[in-house]
Amino acid sequence: MPYAPEDDEVPNPLRPGLRAETAPEPCAVVIFGASGDLAHRKLVPALYNLAVGGHLPGAFAVVGVAKTGYAHDEFVQDMREAVGKFSRTRPIDPEIWQDFAAGMRYVCGEFDDPDTFARLRNTLEEADRSRATRGNRLFYFATPPSAFPSLLERLKEAGLIRSPLESGFTRVVIEKPFGRDLASARALNRLVLQTFDERQVFRIDHYLGKETVQNLLVFRFGNSIFEPIWNRRYVEHVQITAGEELGIEGRGHYYEEAGVLRDMIQNHVQQLLCLCAMEPPIAYDADGVRDEKLKVLRAVETFDSQERVAADVVLGQYAPGSIAGADVPGYQQEKDVAQGSRTPTFVAARFNVRSWRWDGVPFYVRSGKRMPKRATEIAVHFRRIPHQLFGEGATQPNVLIIRVQPQEGITLRFSAKVPGERYRPRTVSMDFRYGTTFASATPEAYERLLLDAMRGDQTLFTRGDEVEAAWKIAGSILKYTESPAFPRPYLYEAGSWGPRQADQLLARDGRAWRRL
Ligand code: BG6
């Protein structure tokens, strides 16, 4: 049957037959945990910026639900302050704000109290009438995971969930952490799928909303020259770094439970690995992309023995130090962190991807808090030239660096002749920078992801089986590292690139981390 665009789709003349920007249908976004940090820093500013960009549906409401006893006006004022402080675009445009704020509602209550949900239901029905939101609801769980079961139960009880077959959509966005190991992720998946159909579930990993991460797909599959060399014949190894200058930012309770493996590796870093290692999907759609990522996760060798973990995983924890000239405390001096805590704030590990394309090409990953600077990148190191024409060691292997943040862009390192009479090669860079190439401002990850959830596009969200496969890998490490018999994390000075054992991990294989 020929493709026929739906009414609200803008036909795309350059790609006939492919879906173009789809405007979301009218809807109400319900934020559970509206008085929390995520709503203030990310969600409400992202929705406001979607309004600024003209991406919100004409009929729209945002309903906050939380325990804090705000009066309606206090809630609106609090959100205005949050937007004033954290929005990508500032100052606030009064006209846009007025329109946006007119759609705000607040419901105060406990997440396990049926009365909260009865009032939420009334509020949503009122929004359907006054804001024409047509019964479409996007529920956003921006709460600690302990609240998820009662949220699911109470939403169902209150009759607030429609099946995908009924008119009017009901969708749920679930924040990380999605479980704390494979067993709890499976249990949570079961619970969520007792209430929702998988097509209604949007498990969020905000890294997938980053422009540079999506560009990895365009870079790999929108160009013909890279794909033929993107494999074990040409690639020698890959390094993925996700370093942050920040410490735990007052989140001691959460971080003590999570540590770097749950906080960064199971989700963000493994997602970067997937996009870097995956096969070309048959289509750029939710299942096309997620099927290929799942295959990568299945191909990653799990860490099945104490010896393997001891050999291929290095854990660290930051000690006091200094960053950009300012003294910072060690992890154990942070608020809500236990004296003698064994929680790792840094990890370096060697991942093996056992597939036709990648067998024998190590993927080294590292992530840490209190590094000398913020730097997230994927560096693809190519093989040496087979015959050294210009003298042993005169040229360095090529490296392709995909900078996720900051200074977003892509750099290719290659050898060039230094001008002069002799053949003296030097490594030089060919650079693409978002900042200078594109005039348009880059939207925040949450803007893109909220918009996709409103549109019903699941491509940049993780599917249930994918989350479980990701836990299988991270969980296989945690199983050993969380046993009391496993050595404590090595201390590293805040402001360094982790313990020296992380360097030894690569040195053992005759390699070194890229200097950032
Ligand atoms: C979050 C982690 O998921 O990602 C934080 O919980 C981390 O600990 C953050 O700081 C990093 O995100 P970004 O977008 O700043 O790289």
What domains does the chain contain, in order, with CATH numbers? 22-175 (3.40.50.720), 209-373+446-507 (3.30.360.10)
For residue 149, what is the enclosing H or E element? helix 148-157
- Residue 252 alpha carbon to ligand 1 centre in Å: 14
What pLDDT is recorded for position 21?
57
492's enclosing H/E stretch is strand 490-493
Determine the pLDDT at residue 11: 39
Q: Where are the alpha helices (DSSP H) in 7-102?
A: 37-38, 44-52, 72-86, 94-102
Dihedral (Cα; 348, 352, 358, 364), 10-degree rounding: 10
Categorise residue 33: left if φ over 0, alpha if ψ from -120 to 50, beta otherwise: left
Distance 208 CA to ligand 1 centre (A): 12
472: nearest Cα among 185, 271, 198, 239: 185
Give the pocket of ligand 1 (CB within 6 Å).
244, 246, 263, 376
Pick the atom of ligand 1 nearest to 176's CA. 3
Tell me the CA–centroid distance for residue 85 and ligand 1, in Å. Answer: 19
CB 168 within 8 A of CB 93: no
Q: Computed over its alpha carbons, how large is the radius of gyration of the chain?
A: 24
Q: Calculate helix-pair angle for 270-277, 464-481, nearest 10 degrees.
A: 120
Q: How far apart, in whole angstroms, are the C-alpha atoms of residue 8 and residue 16? A: 16
| Helical residues (DSSP H) of 482-515, grouped into ranges | 500-507
Q: Which atom, in ligand 1's list, is nearest to the CA of 254? A: 6
Q: Which residues are catalytic?
A: 268
The Å distance, Cα 285 to ligand 1 centre, comes to 26
Task: Give the residue, by CA position, lying nearest to ligand 1 atom 6.
Answer: 263
Q: Candidates 263, 331, 345, 444: which one to mutate for ligand 1, based on the most atoms within 8 Å of Cβ?
A: 263
pLDDT of residue 415: 96
The atom number, within ligand 1, closest to the CA of 268 reads 3
Ligand 1 mean position, distance from CA 316 (Å): 18
Closest CA to ligand 1's atom 9: 264
Protein residue with least CA distance to atom 14, ligand 1: 207
The closest residue, in CA terms, to atom 15 on ligand 1 is: 244
Q: From the CA of 238, how far away is ligand 1's center (Å)?
A: 22
DSSP E strands in 362-443: the ranges are 362-368, 375-382, 399-405, 409-417, 425-433
Q: Which atom of ligand 1 is nearest to the CA of 258?
A: 6
Give the mutation target among 203, 244, 318 for probing the ligand 1 site: most ligand atoms within 8 A of CB: 244
The token duo for 17 is: 């037959």
Task: Output the pLDDT for position 207.
Answer: 95
**What distance in Å separates the CA atoms of residue 285 and residue 292, rounded to the nearest whole number?**
11
Q: Could you identify the atom of ligand 1 that is nearest to the CA of residue 244? A: 10
Residues of the chain with pLDDT under 70: 1-21
